Structure 1
Amino acid sequence: MAAILVIVALGLAIVGWNLGSKGEPSKGANVAPETISPEPLGHPVLVAARDLAAGERPADLEDALRLAYFPEPPASTFSALDQLPDTRLARPLAEGDVLRESGFVGGSALAEVVPPGFRAVGVGIDAVIGGGGFLAPGDRVDVLYFAEAQGEGGERHRLARRLFADVSVLGVGERLVGVDGDDEKGGERTAVLAMPETETARLLLAETTGRLRLAVVGSEEAAGFGEGIDDLRMMAGGASFLPVSLGQSLSEPGQTVSFEELTGVERPAAKRAPAPPQTGYRVVQHVGASRSVVTLP
């Protein structure tokens, strides 16, 4: 009897062990397999994510760009945003077009801040002419002109007048508007002014025939024309607020400016020398078909 009970107990133990091993979840059954994203094939190249117009600056439009992958990298392209030049597009781009080095406007940092229809003209300055040495890029100035001329009779004409009002200063010395650089002042010898294309000859003639002085416009008064040096970059996109008039069409050559027009002083007409007094008698002689005048004492 005891042997039978032992056999039954062993059988129950075996059955229980089998049931327990079947109910136990296998290790790792609920662990999701790792998803390995395949690496993109090819070389990354920046392309336009939407249509871009000429004059836009892609470096400031990260949402307008995306990466596309090519089996071989096209020549003169960019693979990252930090490789883009801080310049504007020379031509429009359609969505999906590749950004290339040749598609950007070239030029120096100065050319970037010159508004359309204007020219950057340098004039000589010193501590007196340049606002007492405190002139800085981004200031607005009135250009004053002094001239002295001598008349026919020896009299001297002196005059002073304001030639241009509210002119933008693009640079002073090696400092340029909108560009980080050395803020040290005092030794500059040139100032770069943004002049309308049709007025550059007038400024050149004024500097070579007289003396110039730059009068700085107060910040409160200049605020009516825009605040901060970023406004100069906005002008390059076509929204110019420079009060100096552009004058005639930009396609026409600049008008010639004379010294008299510049100064407003008309020189007296040259007097004719009196004719010498006539002496003797004049006799007309006719010899055949010829005619001559003879003076007799």
Structure 2
Amino acid sequence: MKRAQLIGFSVALGAAVLAYYVASSFVRPPPAPVTVEKTVNSTEVLVAASDIPVGQIVNEGSFRWIAWPSEAVSASYVTKQGGGVAMMHNLSGSVARSPMLAGEPITTQKLIKAGQGGVLAAILPQGMRAISTKIKAETAAGSLILPNDHVDVILIRQVRNRSNQEESVADTLFRNVRVMAIGQQIETKEGKKAADGSATTATLELTPRQAEMMALANAMGEITLSLRSVADLSTDPARAGSLNLDKPKNNSVRIVRYGAKSRVYGVN
């Protein structure tokens, strides 16, 4: 082999080796990730195994245990280390007072034992009363009012004017009242856009004083429910409309209509 050919072959071989190393540097796999294990203190907490609607009777299959960060465990949670297994057995057969989502921690405040009251009594807030009134499609927003909606309560009654002729008068009794049930329905079903059209009663959440006045209004005339916007829940917290229920010294109601005071109705 001639010397020139030998030199050319050597140069080509060296260039090939150099190209190989350069190419290898570009396709080199990334370094393997380094896994660092960190120990987190956790506590076994009792949670809902699946969605639990209001009024459902729960059993042990309705619950499961999951690891929960210890610093995030509330005192109201049921924990396995704190005698939770026995507590889970005791809670079996209870009725759900409020809806719970799958994975939500179980608390005794959300459940009530059977025999301690019905479902409606279980979801009724402390100190409040549930009272029903007759409804029909034209007095309940076309049967579009659902449980947990808020309404104004309007009384329509007949009175005699100065000419001794009867006329219809409408008075707003209460504002921003929560509807607890429509007929036997106490919870809105998923995807349901209207209440049962055949329902003839609406159950309202009222204070004891309001419940007395509601009973009186049921005997005085026809009740109409005016549906309120959900935006009013935060902007209008008033529970009583034209009736002042915060003054125990006055047991009568005076209705102001068209700027003139009407007769006084006793509520005792």
User: TM-score of the superposition, structure 1-length normalised?
Assistant: 0.46
TM-score, normalised relative to structure 2 = 0.50
The structure with the largest alpha-carbon Rg is 1
